[in-house]
Amino acid sequence: MKVNSQIFRGYDLRGLVDIDLNDEIVEHIGRAYGTFMKRRGIKELLVGRDSRASGVSYSKALIKGLTFAGADVIDIGMTLIGTFYWAQYFLKREGGVFVSASHNPPEYNGFKFANGFSETLVSDGMNELRRMVQEEDYEQSEVAGKVKTVDVKNDYFNDLLKRVPIKNKFRVVVDGSAATAGSLVPEILRRAGCDVVEYNCKVDSSFPLGVADPTSSKVIGRLSGEVVEAKADLGFNYDADGDRIGIVDEKGNIIWNDVLVSLFALDVLKEHPGATIMFNILCSKAVKETILEAGGKPFMWRVGHSFLKKKNLEVRAAFIGELSGHFFFSKDFHNHDDGIYATLRLLKYLSDTGLSLSKAVGQLSKYVSSPEIKIFCADEKKVDLMKKIGPVFRAEFPKAEVIDDERAGDGIRLELEDAMAVIRYSQNGPYLTIKFEAKTDKKYQELKKYLNTLLHNYKEINWSEKINLNTDALE
């Protein structure tokens, strides 16, 4: 089967609708994955999807391919990825596929492939899946698999509400960005006792507000105004599949998610003193400082929810957090990210401590920090570009620690005494991610100017592409 090999990425598959993906290609992907899992003794699979327009037809094509290989499939329909992972345990399905391109623009779709409970295929598994599709290495079953539809919403809600009871009645804003989360989050928060003010919670598969990305200054900025307008205690928004969240406090202040990592670390360390807390290389220096002050063990690892989950099988961290808004309460829940569970945990923490979100954040170390910046760099160029930047950092900052080993994975972290900067290439699309911070505004401005000049030296970077995000933070 002729297919664009670039769509098979580090821990999922993402491509352009009607260009990289169509129903025929998706059926072949289903045949390959169904065969892949059958060879591992797993024939009972789960399928779910987010609200993207192509998700309905792609789910049908995928299931057609899975049943070709003899898999029995339970289709849980439109839901969130955290619900999908939870349903693996509830329905006892080690394998399955979730149809989503997460926070990518609406012209994309893709797939996350389960490989055990809470686990997904990563590098080697994705490469094998690509080979199987390209070579049409499938095994047709003598008897086609069966398909049934199951609605797990109420069981899922009941389980989470039992796990995370909330005493206070919060006034909460939910901005669903017209994507999947708007169909689920308000309902469970009302059942948790919250007064919920909805914005953009009617699902519209055309993405009329643009990409649902809580790391976008535009998206989180919209939420900020809504929280102030509603006189709410805090506000939440989510990406299209609901595993990433964005937070605004009662004053309309944007709380970047590495700050939330620190807050969740404090919460978890109260329950699990001395535990290991894992975070990715994009996170603030404040995260490590907070964990150490609270008596925990900090462990930094590469970006990517699947890489973090896989590493945690070895590290056994009680909690994992990413700047992008993925949070894993592995000791108390399951070893996967779930935006709704994280939402409830934050509300419970505020309820238990009696603090407003602004006061809770005010107790943490402070850095002047950029948003997460994305700049286009072609897939075939982005890896080699990283090899150029590391030596520059070492030459121009001889006293700094330059982290570009397995902890960084696909990027480089410049670690200064009073600042840090990260440049990495994305596993999910043709772009670089940049994040930087400093202890003072003066140092922040110096670092911003330096990075802006450095990145403009490379012709591989395109500053005018549609996929770019928050580039004004470098100006």
- Report the catalytic residues: 102
Instruction: Give the helix ranges, DSSP H, for 316-426.
Output: 339-353, 357-362, 379-396
8 A C-beta contact, residue 343 and residue 434: no
Between CA 128 and CA 33 the distance in angstroms is: 10
Instruction: Give the helix ranges, DSSP H, for 168-326.
Output: 185-191, 217-230, 257-271, 285-293, 305-315
276: which strand partners?
Answer: 297
Between CA 395 and CA 405 the distance in angstroms is: 17
Between CA 296 and CA 171 the distance in angstroms is: 32
The continuous run of DSSP H or E covering 123 comes out as helix 123-135
Judged on CB neighbours under 10 Å (0-12, 13-18, 19+), 369 is buried
Residue 36 dihedral angles phi and psi, to the nearest 5°: -55, -50
Residue 155 dihedral angles phi and psi, to the nearest 5°: -65, -40
Between CA 342 and CA 185 the distance in angstroms is: 12
8 A C-beta contact, residue 21 and residue 7: yes
Between CA 49 and CA 75 the distance in angstroms is: 9
Two structure tokens written together for 197? 């003010």
Residue 256 dihedral angles phi and psi, to the nearest 5°: -65, 150
Q: How many helices (H) and strands (E) does the chain have?
A: 14, 22
